[in-house]
Structure 1
Amino acid sequence: MSSMRIVLLTSLAMLAFAGNSLLCRLALTDTGIDAASFTTIRIVSGALVLVPVARWRNGAGAPAPDWPSAIALFAYAACFSFAYVSLSAGTGALLLFGAVQAAMIGYGLWRGESLAWRRIAGLACAFAGIVGLVLPGITAPPLQGAALMLAAGVAWGIFSIRGKGAGDPTAVMAGSFLRAAPLAAVLSIVTLHSATLDAMGVAYAIASGALTSGVGYVIWYTALRGLSVTSAAIVQLTVPMIAAAAGVILLNEPLTARLLIASAIILGGVALALTGKKT
């Protein structure tokens, strides 16, 4: 895969990931849909788009089963939705991809992928920004929402790692969404007493599942073929900046000093880490 194609696919995937944060936050704050229903509709919509495409590309057979990936996908989607009940788009994305980075880089180190000093310094800087964001204070995010988003990030990191070596990303994604759908349905049944729906909320959930999740994740899986685990973790830290800017512009979310400082530290760490080569 050419470097230009890797850059293009990675950029599109990052935009899709930021779009997920915006759609979820918009649905949960401006419409009547609840977090469990948003999760279920998102996963089912992704499956309805991806399964026919996977079967068309690979014949009539169903996508290969991969329950661990499906469980990781469901855990990510559920924690993501419930976290955005109380978090802003930018703060949630910062926490999410900080946890993603920790999971993916930890795995890379465990597998023997060594880091140059610039990457180590850059990663330390990025983590310092994440820690500074969640430290107690007037503008610190709610603890429950922060914990849920960190859990979502770990689950997404596991999901990305499992998909990195996949032969056909569409089949992997289709199988994961298909098998995560009944798990999401159980969540909706358990929380049925608090379920609420409206047309716009459902529309946002469908867009999140079919476009920014389903299509976006296929693009990301394809881009992962040309990225190391460490590089994949680092580049995802650009998503919070996109989500934060869009949240301020489109959702009228506050741009706090804490978020600005944390964003600057994290971006600086990303820039430094990207200049370091693997050893």
Structure 2
Amino acid sequence: MHKNPVKIIASTVFALFAFAANSVLCRLALGENAIDAASFTTIRLLSGITILFLLITLTRKADQQETKIKPKGSWLAAIMLFIYAVAFSFGYISLDTGTGALILFGAVQITMIISNVISGNKLHFSEWLGLALAFTGFVYLIIPSLTTPSLVGFVLMSISGVAWALYTLLGRKSKDALSDTAYNFLRTSPLILALLVFGLNNADISTMGVILAVLSGAIASGIGYYVWYIALAGLSVTQAAVVQLFVPIIAALGGVVFTSEVITLRLIESSGLVLGGILMVILGRYYFVQLALRKVSNKN
């Protein structure tokens, strides 16, 4: 049960930077018109399929029989993965890197919180307050002004976040993360083909665009998601949720460095509300669980 702390920390840091890198790479490709959104998504997913099955081949050559009985994902998870990837790409056409990441990961966390409520888990007052703060941050972000993201971009990235949250929830019972992830990617193939057909007339591909899409799919998505599962083996649910809140900040800084974007006051303020609200929800739940455990312990 003892986990290597260095391995867990290194895996966590790599995964967080990989998540942020997806935002930077996508914005860099689409913001510079190096590739169209449909082609970027297609190449990204195909690259993810390639690298994941390469990982399976390299890590399981000596375990062929066991591999045959491993779970292989689900169609519902694959559909959620595809919706996430498509909405992500088209959303970033009109969003800055940091803004897009904020909307995405804010939507992910809020969706998972609402899912818990629907499942019958009651929220404490502090958790409701945190949820209200997070929604206030979203509303403030889209109030009409010069620094507000487009409504279409906001909606698409929110859809992407909801889809990723559902994909995550579907994979919570996975007994073989690598196998499930690889086959979920593979199951997007028919949807990739449909996207390719519908987007063929508007295809606009450059060498740089292809390189950015491959890096996003193979490294930031394929390997990034796999390494994240390694990190989760040594992180509590609370720790895993909290550390992801750093992704929008990393992405925003990446946007400044690599795409010459400016961090606006509105983005900083809305980030504080959204991330602070979500942090309040997560830590509020953890605090009251620990408080309840102490009361039970004292009675005994």
TM-score normalised by structure 1 residue count: 0.90
Number of residue pairs aligned between Structure 1 and Structure 2? 278
Report the counterpart of residue 38 of structure 1 in structure 2.
Answer: 40
**Contact persistence 1:63–1:174 (CA under 8 A):** no
Displacement after TM superposition at 1:112 (Å): 3.7
Report the counterpart of residue 90 of structure 2 in structure 1.
Answer: 82
Report the counterpart of residue 56 of structure 2 in structure 1.
Answer: 54
* Larger Rg, first or second structure (1 or 2): 2
> What secondary structure sits across from 2:205 in the alignment?
coil
- Distance in 2, matches of 1:71 and 1:233, equals 23
Displacement after TM superposition at 1:206 (Å): 0.4
Show CA shifts across 1:43-88 (max 9, x none).
0000001023224435264972511111000000000000111111
Report the counterpart of residue 248 of structure 1 in structure 2.
Answer: 256
Pairing 1:193-232 to 2, within 5 Å after superposition: 193-224=201-232, 226-228=235-237, 232=240
Displacement after TM superposition at 1:141 (Å): 0.6
Asked if 1:96 corresponds to 2:104, the answer is: yes
**Contact persistence 1:69–1:162 (CA under 8 A):** yes
Q: Percent identity?
A: 45
> What secondary structure sits across from 2:149 in the alignment?
coil
> What secondary structure sits across from 2:181 in the alignment?
helix
**Contact persistence 2:130–2:280 (CA under 8 A):** yes
Displacement after TM superposition at 1:98 (Å): 1.3
- Distance in 1, matches of 2:29 and 2:128, equals 38
Show CA shifts across 1:158-204 (max 9, x none).
11111122111111110011111331221021111100111111001
> What secondary structure sits across from 1:191 in the alignment?
helix
Q: Kindly tell me: are residues 108 and 160 of structure 1, through their superposed partners in 2, closer, same or farther at Cα, counting changes over 3 Å?
A: same
- Distance in 2, matches of 1:267 and 1:103, equals 14
> What secondary structure sits across from 2:246 in the alignment?
helix
> What secondary structure sits across from 1:164 in the alignment?
coil
Unaligned regions of 5+ residues in structure 2, if any? Answer: 290-300
Unaligned regions of 5+ residues in structure 1, if any? Answer: none
Q: Which amino acid aligns with 1:71?
A: I
- Distance in 1, matches of 2:229 and 2:123, equals 23
**Contact persistence 1:87–1:141 (CA under 8 A):** yes
> What secondary structure sits across from 1:85 in the alignment?
coil
Q: Kindly tell me: are residues 192 and 63 of structure 1, through their superposed partners in 2, closer, same or farther at Cα, counting changes over 3 Å?
A: farther
Q: Kindly tell me: are residues 238 and 127 of structure 1, through their superposed partners in 2, closer, same or farther at Cα, counting changes over 3 Å?
A: farther
**Contact persistence 1:118–1:275 (CA under 8 A):** no
Q: Which amino acid aligns with 2:30?
A: L
**Contact persistence 2:36–2:202 (CA under 8 A):** yes
Q: RMSD of the TM alignment (CA)?
A: 2.4
